[in-house]
Every structure is written in C-alpha cells, then in structure tokens.
Amino acid sequence: MNVITRGSGDPTVAIVGGIHGDEPAGKQVVDRIADMDLEFAGTVKLVIANEPALDAGVRYTDCDLNRAFPGDPDSDLYEERLAVEVYDELEDAQAVLGLHTSHSLPPPFTIFTSLNPVTRRSITGMPVDYAVDSSGLRQTTLDSVHPGAISLEAGVQGSEEAVSFGLLAGLAFLRAHHVLADADPLYTSVRRIKALHEIKKGTGVPRLYYRNFQRIPAGELYAEDDEVSHRAPDNNKVLVLASEHGYEDIFGVLGEPDGIITPEEH
Ligand SMILES: [Zn+2]
C-alpha cells in the first residue's frame, strides 16, 4: 500500500485506487491528483491499495481484496492482511471513494451500502446518473465496513475514458466534501437502483441482450449461455455490471429501480 497525503486540517477524505490490480485507471487517477497543483481546504489521502497485484497486472495475488474486508492480520492470504492495513489507513477519513473499472459499458455509476449524509453528498456530488444500493449483496467490500465509503465504476477497464472520467469525478468528490475549494460543489439527483442478486452463468458462450440500467420487459430473455437462460420476472428489472466475459461465474447483477436520491438541504 502507498499513501500520499495532500492538503492539511479537517475535513479528511480519501480516494483509493488499485483495490483491483487489473484496473489501472484508479492508480492513474490517484497519481494525477497527487501531481496536480491544487489549493486544498482540507486533507485528502490518496491511496494505492494493492501494489503487488498492480505490478503483476492481476486482480489479486491470493484473494479478492474487495471480498476480504474487514480482513485478518494473521491470515496466510496477502489481501486479507492488506484489508486490515487499508481499513486502518481509512478509519479517520469521513468520506472514502474507491475507484473501480469493469468490462461493462457506460454510463459510469456509484455503488453504496449505507445512505447517510456523508455518502449522500458523495453520490449526489459526482457527475453520475445512477447509484447502486448493494446492501442486499455480500458484506465484505470496503463500502460495507466503512460507513463513509462508496465505490465509483468509472468506465471500461483499461480505457483512457475511465481515467479521464475518474479524474473528473474524483475532483467533484473533493469539492462535494469541501476539501477542494477551487469551484463550488454541484449536487444533482441520482437514480437509485437496488441490487437484488448475482446472475449465475452456466457453461458455453455467454450472451447478454440488455445493457446496464436498460429496463427489461416482463418475460424477456436477458442473459443466457448453453446451460442457463434468465428471463425478467416483471417489468421492473435492470442489469448492473453486465458483461459477457468480465466475470467467470456471473453475468453481472440483477437490480430494480428504487426511486431517486436527492441532494441534502444546504
Ligand atoms: Zn474493481
């Protein structure tokens, strides 16, 4: 883990890249912010989490860091020990932004576990239209152990667009928490999507017929391979993190629109 601190005093927030070693955009965003000549009104910790995995260009070395929180200092697995170190580093940050990329197509979106004044400010303060409530999924992610943490899916893994969007969103996150005072924060309403469950793959060639957040009509086939086929149970389902080849055992996550997240009163 590498931590670069910029600015001083309160509030303290953090931006974390390199949680997954095969997603170089997060590290590039963190490096670029560290190199920029910015006037800070608080403190930002810029964290590169999994350096060995980044160096090797792999998602993880022993186990998925974002499935390893809160971690175990005595584990034989590198990422389970690293999760403890990362958490300790982030504990004093009121807001945390974890940077990710995926194999699914734009638009970018945020993922949160708990909606509170801090995460609401992050979610509505970045230029994204969708926020995915993952509280119904597994509870081993950074967002699920740190109450002020959310994730940003910045774009397609390895793309320059993911780096430029991640930078834009990262700076907006800093303004939203008044750590960067170069411009006023801009808060907008965001569509909330409730994540329901993972969509299991079978064997053979995976085929997907809908994009992220596109409404699937009741009864329509949205994903299949040679072994499984998935149809929408009603008119209120969408795909999240949908990709044919991004994950070995799932097509992504099934979700449903769940209202609007509005900015808090200022
Ligand atoms: Zn990731």
Instruction: Give the mean pLDDT per block of 10 residues along the chain (266 residues).
Output: 97 98 97 97 98 97 96 98 98 98 94 97 98 92 96 96 98 98 95 97 96 97 98 98 93 97 82
195, exposed or middle or buried, with CB in 10 Å at 0-12, 13-18, 19+?
buried
Q: How far is the CA of 79 from the centre of ligand 1 (A)?
A: 14
CA of 266 to the centre of ligand 1 (A): 32
pLDDT of residue 105: 87
Question: What pLDDT, on the 0 to 100 scale, is given for residue 139?
Answer: 85
Q: What is the CA(102)–ligand 1 centre distance, in A? A: 7
Res 265: pLDDT: 65
CA 104, CA 255: separation in Å to the nearest integer? 15
Q: How many CB atoms within 10 Å of residue 231?
A: 14
pTM of the model: 0.96
Q: Are the beta carbons of 132 and 193 closer than 8 angstroms?
A: yes
Distance 19 CA to ligand 1 centre (A): 6
The neighbourhood of ligand 1, an ion, using CB within 5 A, equals 20, 23, 100
- At residue 233, the pLDDT reads 97
Burial, 98: exposed, middle or buried (Cβ in 10 Å; 0-12, 13-18, 19+)?
Answer: buried
CA–CA dist 158, 151 (Å, integer): 18
- CA of 172 from ligand 1 middle (Å) equals 20
CA of 18 to the centre of ligand 1 (A): 8
* Under 8 Å between Cβ of 248 and 200: no
Q: Mark 101-133 as b/e (b = at least 16 C-beta within 10 Å).
A: bbebeeebbbbbbbeeebbbbbbbbbebebbbb
C-alpha to C-alpha distances, 79 to 112, 131, 249, nearest whole angstrom: 22, 27, 21
Ligand 1 center–CA 46 separation, angstroms: 16
241: tokens are 């993190």
pLDDT value at position 210?
96
